[in-house]
């Protein structure tokens, strides 16, 4: 059974207020989905659902709560879907995933779907923001050779240098669109290690703002919602998938609930 957890954390330097409301809005939209695209009935009332209750005015306690709860879930649940929140929550979630894998003797793999690499120099190393969480995770010891960045299309010069220096693997937007099926083959094979476990982090801005306007950093030139749902359906078949987060959906910036509806569609394909 898939476990769904709301993680309403924000540390977006004042730019992501509203993302803490995403989990509830996604679940409301899920009520309008009667089955996913494979025909599986969807009933949000039957979900194994929980929330990590957070105080976004105390980031130290927030990060510790996210880490502790996620670490426990990785140890007891076959698969967990986390609904953010902005991308800062992914630092504590993936750090818990890393330590879970160490405890179990597994090799951790991370695939990040994002328009931006989130590798800015950390302003505060003990409380990463949505702009530097991945850099902080790498510096905390996540094996860099086991990280794949997909869909990045706007990077700061310092981020580009950091990615090159650490030899982080990437799949460009052009590579995705040249042959989506072939690109998905490579993405799903990335973590085919029989001793590996996989975590997926989805920043909704990997999707073009025409289809997902409700996010803080709209980046033109992204995937269509149809293309991204195909990718999600392919990823959902990966046997060693342990955790997924969906972040940066901001209902306060949405238009006609397009983004929260897409978040619900993504969730429906994963549960």
Domain 2-270 top-level CATH class: alpha beta
Average pLDDT, the chain: 95
- Residue among 1, 144, 5, 142 nearest 77 (CA): 1
Predicted confidence at residue 126, as pLDDT, reads 67
What pLDDT shows up at residue 15?
Answer: 85
Q: Which of 121, 122, 109 is nearest to 201 (CA)?
A: 109
Question: 12 falls in which pLDDT band (50, 70, 90)?
Answer: confident
Instruction: Determine which helix (DSSP H) or strand (DSSP E) holds 97, and give its type and residue range.
Output: helix 89-104
Rounded CA Rg of the chain: 17
The span from the CA of 206 to the CA of 209, in Å, is 9
For residue 2, pLDDT beyond 90: no
Q: What is the mean pLDDT of residues 154-168?
A: 97
Q: Are 85 and 10 in contact (CB under 8 A)?
A: yes
Residues β-bridged to residue 111? 148, 200
pLDDT number for residue 127: 85
Which DSSP helix (H) or strand (E) runs through 204? none
pLDDT in tens, 13-58: 778 999 999 999 999 999 999 999 999 999 988 899 999 999 999 9
Is 90 exceeded by the pLDDT of residue 79?
yes
**Terminal Cα-to-Cα distance of the chain (whole angstroms):** 8
Cα separation, 86 vs 66, whole angstroms: 13
Residue 218 in this model has a pLDDT that exceeds 90: yes
pLDDT confidence of residue 52: 97
| 188-209 residue pLDDT tens | 999 999 999 999 999 999 999 9
- pLDDT over 80 (residue 125): no
H or E stretch at 108: strand 107-113
Residue 78: what pLDDT? 95
Q: What is the dihedral of CA 55, 56, 61, 65, to 10 degrees?
A: 70
pLDDT of 265 over the 70 cut: yes
Rounded mean pLDDT, 249-266: 98
Distance CA 217, CA 205 (A): 7
- Coil, helix or strand at residue 20: helix
pLDDT band, residue 255 (cuts 50/70/90): very high
- Is the peptide bond preceding residue 85 cis, with omega within 30 degrees of 0? yes
User: Do the Cβ atoms of 65 and 52 come closer than 8 Å?
Assistant: yes
- Say if residues 200 and 187 touch (Cβ distance below 8 Å): no
Question: What six digits make up the tokens of 270?
Answer: 């994963």
Look at the pTM and tell me if it is higher than 0.95.
Answer: yes
Whether the pLDDT of residue 1 is over 90: the answer is no
Single out the residue of 56, 44, 47 nearest to residue 18, CA to CA: 56
Q: Two tokens at 111?
A: 């695939």
The lowest-confidence range among 54-63, 118-127, 187-196 is: 118-127
Q: By percentage, how much of the chain surpasses pLDDT 70?
A: 99
As a whole-number percent, the residues of the chain with pLDDT over 90 amount to 93
Token pair, residue 201, equals 């982090």
pLDDT value at position 124? 61
Structure-block tokens of residue 253: 């910036």
* Residues in contact with 40: Cβ distance below 8 Å, sequence separation at least 6, in sequence order: none
């Amino acid at each position: 059974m898939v476990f769904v957890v709301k993680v309403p954390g924000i540390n977006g330097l004042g730019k992501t207020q509203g993302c803490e409301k995403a989990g509830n809005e996604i679940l409301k939209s899920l009520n309008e989905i009667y089955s996913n695209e494979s025909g599986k009935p969807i009933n949000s009332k039957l979900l194994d659902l929980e929330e990590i209750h957070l105080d976004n005015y105390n980031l130290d306690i927030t990060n510790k709560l996210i880490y502790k709860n996620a670490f426990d879930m990785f140890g007891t649940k076959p698969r967990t879907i986390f609904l953010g929140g902005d991308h800062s929550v992914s630092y504590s979630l993936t750090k818990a995933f890393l330590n879970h894998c160490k405890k179990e003797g597994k090799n951790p793999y991370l695939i990040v779907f994002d328009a931006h690499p989130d590798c800015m120099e950390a302003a505060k190393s003990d409380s990463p923001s949505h702009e530097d969480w991945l850099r902080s995770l790498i510096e905390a010891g996540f094996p860099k050779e086991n990280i794949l960045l997909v869909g990045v299309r706007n990077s700061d010069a310092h981020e580009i240098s950091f990615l090159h220096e650490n030899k982080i693997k990437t799949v460009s937007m052009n590579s995705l669109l040249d042959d989506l099926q072939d690109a998905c083959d490579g993405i799903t094979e990335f973590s085919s290690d029989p001793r590996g476990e996989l975590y997926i982090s989805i920043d909704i801005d990997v999707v073009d703002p025409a289809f997902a306007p409700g996010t803080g950093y709209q980046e033109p030139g992204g995937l269509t919602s149809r293309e991204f749902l195909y990718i999600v359906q392919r990823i959902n078949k990966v046997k060693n998938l342990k955790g997924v987060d969906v972040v940066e959906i901001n209902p306060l910036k949405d238009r006609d609930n397009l983004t929260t509806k897409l978040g619900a569609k993504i969730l429906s394909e994963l549960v």
